[in-house]
A and B are shown apart, each in its own frame.
Chain A
Amino acid sequence: MDFEAVVIGSSAGGLKALKTIILGLDKTFSIPIIVVQHMSPHSDSFMSRYFNQLSHLQVKEADEREPVRPSHMYLAPPNYHLLVEEDKTLSLSVEEKVNYARPSIDVLFESAAFAWGSRLIGIVLTGANNDGATGLKKITQAGGLAIIQSPETAEVPIMPISAIDNCPDAIVLKLEDIPLFLNKL
């Protein structure tokens, strides 16, 4: 099947988990990836610069009205929600926090499900809250594919456990197996 985008949500321990995924991807992997990693509102753009050096993908902080392109990885900017428009451009919002978070994983996942329907993969990684569980469910309802990092391989298992509770049909994978799975698509 042709997937058109991957959305990833991560929180506590996410930097390391995301790094594992990025380094595990084949050089030929080109499906766009959009990431919400919870962080302090005053963070700088360290993460996008760091990942950009590690990856064959073009990694950048998302800009408003930016079209989603292959071989790119977009990170939600600190203190903004990141959404996908149905014309597959990115947009930002400063509306209230969702699940105590801005950016919120649910906000990204829900809008991405509207935009891509069954051609979307959602991945929930390590974290200490419930963000992402509702959004991942929306992705499966739209016919998309849900993947959850197995709690025992998560630095903080709360977010994966909560996602599994909400999406019992999701594929649960060890962290190091997630990039291998993506490579086979």
Chain B
Amino acid sequence: METPLNKDYNATNLTQNIEIELLIEAIYKRYGYDFRNYNKAHLKRRILFRTAALGLNSISELQHKVLHENDFFDLILKDFSINVTEMFRDPGFYATLRREVLPMLRTYPYVKIWLAGCSTGEEVYSFAIMIKEEGLYERTQIYATDFNPISLETARKGIYPISRIKDYTANYQMSEGKQSFSDYYVAHYESVIFNQDLRKNVVFAEHNLVTDSVFAEVHMVICRNVLIYFNKDLQNKVVRLFSESLVKGGFLGLGSKENLMFTDVVEQFTVVDGKEKIYKKKII
């Protein structure tokens, strides 16, 4: 049905797709952040949201601001980052790590864990708490990385809205937490601040999975709900990076809807828990 209305819509849609491609290219050339292999539907949503929120007439106007206004790109980078995460998201994942994986990591004299795409840090504090309770914290080094420096700044501070604590506490308990969740933070007006000592062994660092390479040999890589934004080529590139970063016998944890099955490295891993998407790199 080619109604006049529909014809206009199709033309607008085509123009927007061209503008999005140009914007992504402009961001890459100007700032070095490479979103060219990201899934388009999500990016389009974020870009159209920002264009509408600013009252701009077109994505081209947005591109003009990205290229010509110095601080404006920070806002776009925030739009493209996944800032939404929660503490102990998918409690079963954490419970499985406690039962199946941490006992094996305990056999190492020291343990390095890479939390890739740690965003605003909720996952970092969840891991610090879990590892502390499992008696591993003193010999563990956590590398918490993200491509967005502003998210990392939030992560470093460890301050979150008090409104989220009810959900986090429920998640913590379902994750087989061993203490009272309130032991780990101090409430202050509308916020909670997580205890300083939880980040004692955490290094926060900027790292871009798309453009940066291996930076350390680690015993476990956790990267949850990041691969879902990437196309197949980029997914392959990133899981190869994880495989190269892991010691033999090291562990990889992905998001509940992510999978090594159709990637290039599937032969290099065995499945520890298929539901929770926990894998182990083969010894040989």
Distance in Å from the Cβ of A123 to the closest Cβ of chain B? Answer: 18
Residues of A within 8 Å of B, CB-based: how many? Answer: 28
Does A142 contact B6, Cβ atoms closer than 8 Å? yes
Distance in Å from the Cβ of B10 to the closest Cβ of chain A? Answer: 6
Inter-chain contacts of B44 with A (CB < 8 A): 111, 114
Q: Which residue of A lies closest to B84 (CB)?
A: A96
Other A-B pairs beyond A83-B39, A94-B84, 9, CB < 8 Å: A42-B91, A63-B257, A83-B41, A91-B42, A91-B229, A93-B229, A117-B6, A118-B2, A141-B9
Inter-chain contacts of A141 with B (CB < 8 A): 5, 9
Does B45 contact A107, Cβ atoms closer than 8 Å? yes
Residue A65 at the chain B interface, CB threshold 8 Å: yes
Which B residues are within 8 Å of any A CB, using their own CB? 1-3, 5-6, 9-10, 13, 17, 39-42, 44-46, 82-85, 89-91, 174, 225, 227-229, 231-232, 255-259, 262
Alpha-carbon gap, A142 to B10, bound state (A): 7
Alpha-carbon gap, A92 to B256, bound state (A): 11
A94 touching B40 in the complex, CB below 8 Å, given contacts A80-B257, A143-B5, A143-B6? no
Distance in Å from the Cβ of B17 to the closest Cβ of chain A? Answer: 7
Residue A160 at the chain B interface, CB threshold 8 Å: no
Distance in Å from the Cβ of A105 to the closest Cβ of chain B? Answer: 14
Does B257 contact A64, Cβ atoms closer than 8 Å? yes
Inter-chain contacts of B46 with A (CB < 8 A): 95
Residue A117 contacts which of B13, B40, B85, B232 (CB distance < 8 angstroms)? B13
Alpha-carbon gap, A5 to B42, bound state (A): 20
Alpha-carbon gap, A25 to B277, bound state (A): 35
Distance in Å from the Cβ of B172 to the closest Cβ of chain A? Answer: 14
Inter-chain contacts of A80 with B (CB < 8 A): 228, 257
